[in-house]
Amino acid sequence: MVKDAESHAEDDRKKQQVIEARNQADNLIYTTEKTLRDVGAGVDAVLKGDIENRVQELKKVMDSDDAETIKRATEALATASHKLAEQLYAQKTQAQGGGAGQQAQPDAGGQESKGRKDDDDVVDADYTEVK
């Protein structure tokens, strides 16, 4: 039985790599399609078309038993989805008025004040501990 397991170890390793590649591909397809649905028309049409084409290509190769082919198609989709994320981030920062000029500045105590005003109605109170 041990000899049989040792003789099939290489086949098992290859099957495991294919399964892992398929799982990664499936997760990326799901998240990419969900992002496209959530964003809707807020995406450049050319970029959206490119991403949809890469999703379809990846779905086609997921049935193959070649882990490297699946990984290459997954990487191609990941690259396209990164461009989508960059575009969405740029849109978000533009909608927030740039955001780059509103960095946290340290206050007198060395703490960063993240847009906190000095008139926050903070009340200091004394207390005594009752035992």
Going from N- to C-terminal start, the domains of the chain cover: 7-97
Write the pLDDT tens digit of every residue in 35-66. Answer: 889 887 778 889 889 999 999 999 999 988 89
Contacts from 55-63 at CB under 8 Å and sequence distance 24+?
55/29, 58/25, 58/28, 58/29, 59/29, 62/22, 62/25, 62/26
Give the residue-averaged pLDDT of 118-131: 76
CATH number of 7-97: 1.20.1270.10
pLDDT band at 119 (very low <50, low <70, confident <90, very high): low
Confidence class of residue 22 from pLDDT cuts 50, 70 and 90?
Answer: very high
How distant, in Å, are the alpha carbons of 54, 97, 118, 125 from that of 122? 54, 29, 9, 10
* Predicted local distance difference test score (pLDDT) of residue 106: 52
Q: Which value, to the nearest 10 degrees, does the dihedral of the CA atoms of residues 40, 41, 47, 53 take? A: 50
In this prediction, residue 90 carries a pLDDT of: 87
At residue 96, does pLDDT exceed 90? no
Q: What is the mean pLDDT of the chain?
A: 82
